[in-house]
């Protein structure tokens, strides 16, 4: 994956830089927000907590995506509603979690035990 920053505009009122980037992902699906965040923090030399990925949209017919990103000067400059939304969005995908097995699989079929009601019927007869 390669990220090219196409636009970097400073917004002093909101205390952030507004960035547009092209993400090259040859031969694969659009990368997750977590993967993009890792690469962005290295390329923009910013803390992961100060980066907010607003939008990722794939370009049709090619292995590229465009992203709208906001890089805040400080974590406390991020609006509360945006911080909560990004906390939900930046979680790892559900499929990446390791699933634990409830019970080990056995090759033997479970043995059937007679119902107590059947035994009682035999005794009565």
Number of compact structural domains in the chain: 1
Q: Which two tokens stand for residue 31?
A: 């990368």
Tens of pLDDT, residues 66-96: 999 999 988 888 888 888 888 888 776 676 6
82 lies in a domain?
A: yes
CATH number at residue 8: 3.30.70.330
Q: List the domain range (segments joined by +) for residue 29.
A: 2-90
Tens of pLDDT, residues 31-60: 888 888 889 888 888 888 889 999 999 888
Asked whether 27 and 1 are in contact (CB, 8 A), the reply is no
């Amino acid at each position: 994956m390669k990220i090219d920053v196409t636009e970097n505009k400073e917004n002093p009122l909101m205390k952030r830089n507004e960035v547009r980037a092209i993400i090259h992902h040859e031969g694969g699906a659009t990368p997750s927000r977590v993967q993009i965040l890792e690469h962005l923090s290295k390329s923009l030399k910013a803390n992961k907590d100060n980066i907010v990925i607003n939008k990722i949209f794939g370009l049709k017919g090619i292995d590229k995506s465009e992203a709208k990103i906001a890089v805040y000067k400080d974590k406390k400059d991020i609006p509360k509603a945006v911080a909560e939304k990004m906390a939900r969005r930046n979680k790892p995908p559900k499929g990446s979690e390791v699933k634990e097995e409830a019970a080990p699989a056995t090759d033997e079929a479970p043995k059937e035990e007679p119902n107590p009601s059947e035994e009682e019927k035999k005794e009565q007869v």
